[in-house]
Each structure stands twice: as C-alpha cells, then as structure tokens.
C-alpha cells in the first residue's frame, strides 16, 4: 500500500532559524562530531556570507535543508548569474519522501523567476541530481603531482591577512571566476584546514595557490592565481614546504599551458568536471570554471 504523506511547507529559513538548525544539519549530513560546519562552510553559515536556506517543514519542524548562494560568475559568455547550492540534507526519518527533491524543484523555479542563469552544485550523487535536471558541466584538468626531491624556491611562504588585497587582484585577472570583494575573500579564506601559499618577489605577491578546505579537497590544490610562470615555481615549492609528496592539482581550461610547464612533476593527467549544472536560461549554457574556495 502506498504511504500517503502530508505536503511539507517549503520556505526560506530566517537567520535565527538557520543558526538554530546547524546542529541538526550537521548530523543529517553525517558530518564528523569533531568537525565544524561553520568552520568548513563559512560563506554558507556565517551571517556575512549572504547565503540563504530553503527548508521543508512539518508542523513548524525543519525536516530537510538546502543552502544556496547567488554569485556573479564570469564565464565564456561574460558575467552570468549563478546560484551555488550545498548542504542538501534530510532528517533520516524523512528520507525517501521527496523532501530534498521538492526543495530543489522549488529552488529551480524561484531562481529562474529571479533571473538566475544556472544552478551549480558539487556532489557524488549524480543519479539523484540527474532526475532533477542536473548534468556534469565544465572541464578541468587534474594532474596527479609527484614530488620526489625537495623543491626549494625563495619567496614562497604561507599567505598572511595582509596579502588579501594582492590575492584579490590576482583573482580578478582570471578570465573565468566568481566575482568577489575583499570581505567575501576574507570570509572564504577563513575556512578551516586551508593551506594558502604565496610566491613573493621584492615583497610583491606574484602568485597564490590553495590546498584543502574544511573536510573537502584535502590532497587537492584547487585554486590558483598569478602567471603560469610564477605558478610553475610556486606549486612544487609549496608542496615541498607542506611536506607533500603527492597531491592532485586542478587546472582550469585557461591554464592549459601550465600543464607543459609542470611536465616531469606529474605522473597522470585526467579530465574532471567542474560541477553539476542545471541551466535556467540560454546564458546558463556556457563554459565556465569555479575556483575551489567558492564551491559550497
Ligand atoms: C541525499 C539526501 C539529501 C536525499 O534526501 P531525500 O529527502 O531523502 O531525497 P528524496 O526523497 O527527494 O530522494 C530520495 C532519493 O535520493 C537518492 N539517494 C539518497 N541517498 C543516496 C546515496 N547515498 N546514494 C545514491 N542515491 C541516494 C535515492 O536515489 C533516492 O531515490 P529512491 O527514493 O528512488 O530510493 C538524503 O539522503 C541525505 O540527507 N543524505 C545525507 C546527506 C547527503 O549525502 N547529502 C547530499 C550531499 S550533496
């Protein structure tokens, strides 16, 4: 016999409700007890991050949650409006009741009505998202780096708060990127378990590279800024300083020339996808790349 289910109320959470829901979302996401959701996703759960949450409620009780953040994404066809989605989680006793699906359907229609061009998210659950109209999109090169000998390079050191303006300038030089201001960058850089290394010359920042991010992307270099020439010096030296013998380096399509420059330092090159995408307008059908710090 088919179970008849009451329809949930799907609506945005207030900031106070979001704060109250953090422990529930933490456990629904099966996040480790000793990890912090706020520390791992500051752009989602800190009030300054300007992310929103949609929830499914039964009698006023939150039973499923999805966070989203609207950004301007500079893609192959200029700036488009993208909605980044994450922290999709349903209370175990309500799983299989289509709550997450209903929230995502409602989100797609409200984001389309708001003039957004696409929704992007990061997940291994491709089949679940395919049913809701999401498909793998964007290509990135993934280099399996292997460093056998110490690669020293003067001027390579961990980034400091005073470097943020210079790092933002390097970010703004990228042809494809999420638009950020200084306070957004500062929030993104506050994520736990992030290694951000810089290459300096005469106290100028020539390049930066980011490794790890909360519980995500450990063992992955996921965001780079600066010229290919500067990154050719920075990446092996940064790996050496962090005592990494192996790591995967993500390269956007516009960094194809860096692959040749790093020859001899990687043992495998494969192609990956950037995100799962649901286009909401013709402008959402484009080539793009999202740096690791922006994904939620
Ligand atoms: C994934 C999740 C959000 C789905 O929520 P939900 O409200 O039960 O989703 P729906 O009822 O709309 O859809 C259920 C579908 O999810 C899919 N699904 C759920 N967990 C899955 C998993 N681990 N692997 C593959 N598919 C999964 C199933 O295909 C299921 O379909 P079925 O009903 O035909 O079996 C929920 O299982 C959850 O909170 N999981 C833990 C957190 C998580 O993994 N979040 C996803 C991060 S992107």
Task: Decide: 71 and 117 in contact? Cβ < 8 Å.
Answer: no
Name the residue of 64, 128, 296 to mutate for ligand 1: max ligand atoms within 8 A of Cβ: 128
pTM of the model: 0.95
- Say how far apart CA 292 and CA 223 lie, in whole Å: 5
User: Closest ligand 1 atom to the C-alpha of 100?
Assistant: 7
At 191-227, the pLDDT tens digits run: 999 999 999 999 999 999 999 999 999 999 999 999 9
* Residues with C-beta less than 6 Å from any ligand 1 atom: 28-30, 64, 88-90, 95-101, 123, 125, 128
Give the H/E segment covering residue 9: strand 9-12
- Say how far apart CA 58 and CA 154 lie, in whole Å: 59
How high is the pLDDT of residue 4?
A: 54
Which residue pairs, CB below 8 angstroms and at least 24 apart, start in 168-175? 170/205, 170/207, 170/208, 170/225, 170/226, 171/225, 171/291, 173/225, 174/74, 174/225, 174/252, 174/254, 174/291, 175/74, 175/254
At 251-290, the pLDDT tens digits run: 999 999 999 999 999 999 999 999 999 999 999 999 999 9
User: Closest ligand 1 atom to the C-alpha of 86?
Assistant: 48
When pLDDT is cut at 50, 70 and 90, the band that residue 21 belongs to is very high
Give, using CA atoms, the residue closest to atom 23 of ligand 1: 125
When pLDDT is cut at 50, 70 and 90, the band that residue 6 belongs to is confident
Identify any residues that bridge with 269 across adjacent strands, giving them in sequence order: 143
User: Closest ligand 1 atom to the C-alpha of 101?
Assistant: 12
Give, using CA atoms, the residue closest to atom 35 of ligand 1: 96
When pLDDT is cut at 50, 70 and 90, the band that residue 50 belongs to is confident
Q: What is the DSSP string of 40-82?
A: H-HHHHSGGG--EEEEEEETTEEEEEEEEEEEEEEETTEEEEE
Cite the beta strand spans of 169-259 per DSSP E: 177-178, 195-201, 204-213, 216-226, 246-251
Domains of the chain, each with CATH number or no CATH:
9-138 (3.40.630.30), 140-274 (3.40.630.30)
Query: Any idea which residue has 């009698």 for tokens?
Result: 59
Distance from residue 96's CA to the centre of ligand 1 (Å): 7
Across 163-185, average pLDDT? 98
Structure tokens at 165: 């303006």
Give, using CA atoms, the residue closest to atom 44 of ligand 1: 29
Distance from residue 88's CA to the centre of ligand 1 (Å): 9
Q: Could you give the residue ranges of the DSSP H alpha helices within 133-241?
A: 164-172, 182-189, 228-241
How high is the pLDDT of residue 1?
A: 47
How high is the pLDDT of residue 3?
A: 55
Judged against a pLDDT cut of 60, whether residue 2 lies above it is answered with no
């Amino acid at each position: 016999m088919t179970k008849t289910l009451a329809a949930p109320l799907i609506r945005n959470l207030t900031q106070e409700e979001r704060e109250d829901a953090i422990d529930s979302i933490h456990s629904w996401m099966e996040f480790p007890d000793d990890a912090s959701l706020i520390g791992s996703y500051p752009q989602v759960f800190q009030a300054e991050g300007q992310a929103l949450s949609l929830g499914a409620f039964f009698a006023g009780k939150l039973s499923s949650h999805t966070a989203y953040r609207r950004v301007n994404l500079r893609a192959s066809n200029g700036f488009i409006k993208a909605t980044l989605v994450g922290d999709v989680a349903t209370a175990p006793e309500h799983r299989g009741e289509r709550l997450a699906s209903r929230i995502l359907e409602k989100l797609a229609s409200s984001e389309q009505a708001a003039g957004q061009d696409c929704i992007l998210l990061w997940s291994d659950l491709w089949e679940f998202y395919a049913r809701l109209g999401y498909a793998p999109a964007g290509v990135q090169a993934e280099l399996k780096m292997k460093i056998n000998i110490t690669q020293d390079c003067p001027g390579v050191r961990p980034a400091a708060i005073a470097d943020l303006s210079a790092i933002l300038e390097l970010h703004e030089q990228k042809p494809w990127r999420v638009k950020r201001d200084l306070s957004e960058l500062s929030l993104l850089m506050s994520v736990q378990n992030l290694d951000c290394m810089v290459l300096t010359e005469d106290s100028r920042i020539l390049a930066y590279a980011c490794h790890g991010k909360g519980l995500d992307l450990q063992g992955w270099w996921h965001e780079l800024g600066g010229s290919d020439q500067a990154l050719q010096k920075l990446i092996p030296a940064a790996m050496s300083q962090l005592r990494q013998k192996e790591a995967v380096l993500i390269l956007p399509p516009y960094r194809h020339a860096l692959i040749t420059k790093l020859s001899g330092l990687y043992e495998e090159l494969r192609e990956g996808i950037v995100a799962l995408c649901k286009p909401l307008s013709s402008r959402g059908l484009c080539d793009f790349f999202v740096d690791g710090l922006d994904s939620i």
